[in-house]
Structure 1
Amino acid sequence: MHLHIKQADIGYDKTLISNADANLNLGEVCLLIGNNGVGKTTLIKSVLHQVPLLNGEISINNKNIKHLSVKEIAEHIAVVFSKSVIPQNHTVEDLISLGKYIYYPYYFELKKEDKKEVSEIIRELDLDQYKHIFLRNLSDGNLQKAFIGRALTQNSPIIILDEPTTHLDEKNKITILKTLRKLAKEQNKLILFSSHDWRLAKEFADKIWYIKDKTLYSGMVEDVLLQHEELINPSLFEVNKNFISPHILAPGLHKEMLYSLLQKNFQEDLSSLHFELQQKIWVISYNSLRHQCESFEEIVNFVKTIY
């Protein structure tokens, strides 16, 4: 089974994504990324056939989604949106149990094996202590985990999550993403999740779907990142429009830190400066001069002597 987008125009009254071609297979984790308003959520809703395509086709297991009923789509895809209606009088256990709804009549009694599965998912998501707590009393992070738990109990081969880590702290974010990757690899699930943070891709995703300028770029994480420098360029963190960056040669994290430091402290055009990190020492080249700094504080003080 796989998810296939073929020559699709995606949007509402106007096209947000044009002539999209992409596919994912079972066992793969894919990060959907792009700026606000480019069509990430619209793409997800199009896959669910909640927003009709303007042109082209989306198929699941070689079946056009246009020909699938709502129940059939639910059997294929479990989804978690970033903004979900909260059943106020449900507990965590109640919500996660609802993932079994597509397999039972509206009023149902869970089988023994279903109850065991629900308990295992609650434990996997570190929600044991909140099992009987009403959803209205949960933190945003634990509430998000509970909705993800409901998607997991649905046992659909495809799981789609719209910004699932938005309200999570670092520990819970890692818990969720490790759980999703484990599901993909051990239970042969196809996982598609959206986020603003491309850095999640390096650790948890196999593929990226990147939306930019009405185009959907897709491929292996490493290939897409290297083909689109803006994804790994620290200028993503621009807070000073007048700032012109110097040349920085350093590992990614150090490069980001230095870029952020300089744009916070300087309005000037720093393009005549060249920074290179050598054995924990920053070597700064300016005209024919070379200066060494051991700390970011030293860097700021030195640059101030120039500008």
Structure 2
Amino acid sequence: MRYDKTLLKHIAKENNEYFTSVSIWNSYAGKHQLPRARTFAYHFGSWNIAKKEIFGDNVPVGARFEPSFTEEELIQIAKEHSSYFQKQKDWNFFASEKDLLSSKVYMHKFNGWNEAKIKIFGSERPLFRNLYTKEQLVMIARKHSTYFTSQNTWSRYAAQHGLPNAHVFINHFNSWNEAKDSIFQESKAVLQQKRSFSKENLIETAKKYQDHFTSIKAWDSFAVQHDLLRSGVFIKHFQSWNHAKKQIFNDAAAILKRQSIRKYSSDQLIGIALKHFNHFNLKISEWNHYAKDHQLPTGSTFCIHFSTWETAQEVVRSAKDNRK
């Protein structure tokens, strides 16, 4: 059904006793096939603007709650989402995301927020420990490490993705900071082991995962998930992240050069080039294509030994002429 402002105003006024909050209206509208709060927000700009434009100064307040929600039903909803049923602001944010009843409904039904928690859970603090193990929480936090910064940031993200909120971690680890330390900070023994890594070790690690070695944020997110050295270790060894990237990949090229020199001598390379002279006497790109198919040293190996491709070709031609 298509709605316009005129029809929406008529619907709101006909059911004004439920037009108090998003959660109460959505609950009522869902059972009576009426437009949800987001329809009003779309046409009027926001839910509050809709209320003001429709009712002026006579905005409905203190409306009775939907009688069809029994105490048992409210308890069941709270228990199904118990990890968010700690603070009112956390529950209300989660409820608005999932179209659930707001904290006001529970306060009305149970005569207060803490009273609701005691009635539902037997305590003001739901027992989150039974919902997740520490191992599960560590895995969740590391998988979504980019958002595991502040309690508010994590709780918003968690509410949108159906993950345990900050209070679940606090109940397991005693505090938010202790949770972060326990999940992300390596033990002293591991840190000591990482400090002992040489630059060659760091170069090898960065080279192996170079697709992820772009920014500090990207690398740390990848490193946490794969138990690798964090950006701080690289910065400590190379003074800064940019210096690390520059020096690591320059050093990697130097290592490649040393490996190529050890693998082939100049005489061996000349011998290979003479044996395949018709292909070697072409552009470096054509030689590389041929070398790859025949498992031969590429043009870069020749350049390492002879400075340039053209010089390498001149040396080989000279050797060919001397054999005549």
Structure 1 or 2: more helix by fraction: 2
Structure 1 or 2: more strand by fraction: 1
Q: Which has the larger radius of gyration?
A: 2
Structure ranking higher on relative contact order (CA contacts 8 Å, 6+ apart): 1
Pair in the same fold by TM > 0.5: no
Question: TM-score, length-normalised on structure 1?
Answer: 0.27
Question: TM-score, length-normalised on structure 2?
Answer: 0.26
